[in-house]
Amino acid sequence: MKNLTKTLHRYQARERRKKAIRKKIFGTAEAPRLIVFRSLKHIYGQIIDDNIGKTLTAASTKTKDLNLDGITKKQEQSFQVGLILGKQAIKLGIKKITFDRGGYLYHGRVKALADGVRKAGVEF
């Protein structure tokens, strides 16, 4: 029972941070919002235009195009997802984005995904 309440508090704290971040960050047509979601096995990234409320492009470790067979480290997988997401953004003509870390620390897999997007040529 103790672990359940600890997990619940952790989830509630992340939701509180997420709401505080979303008050400040808004994706526009010029600079859409890149949102990151991290689960225990996978990482997901979406580029969203909040003006029209539409996802412009998305990528994750579950994406069929992404070949992650030889890569076992989650940070390397996250970097590859970021590269794919950045390349898709460049194809759509998106050169600048705002980064929404979704309440997670900017560290580890979240940072690796952001670095992959930057390496593809997208500015934050």
Q: Read off the CATH number of the domain in which 13 is found.
A: 3.30.420.100
- Report pLDDT digits (tens) over 36-85: 999 999 999 999 999 999 999 999 999 887 777 778 899 999 999 999 99
CA dihedral (17, 18, 23, 28) positive or negative: positive
Is residue 14 assigned to a domain? yes
Tell me if 65 is assigned to some domain. Answer: yes
Domain membership flag for residue 124: no
For residue 29, being part of any structural domain is answered with yes
Higher pLDDT, 3 or 9: 9
Strand 98-100 to 33-38 pairing: parallel
User: What pLDDT is stored for residue 1 in this prediction?
Assistant: 60
Kindly state the tokens that stand for 7. Answer: 């997990």
Coil, strand, or helix at residue 103? coil
> What global pTM score does this model have?
0.87
Q: Which pLDDT belongs to residue 25? A: 85
42 within a domain of the structure (yes/no): yes
**CA–CA separation, 123 vs 97, rounded Å?**
6
Q: Is the pLDDT of residue 9 over 70?
A: yes
Residue 14 has pLDDT above 70, yes or no: yes
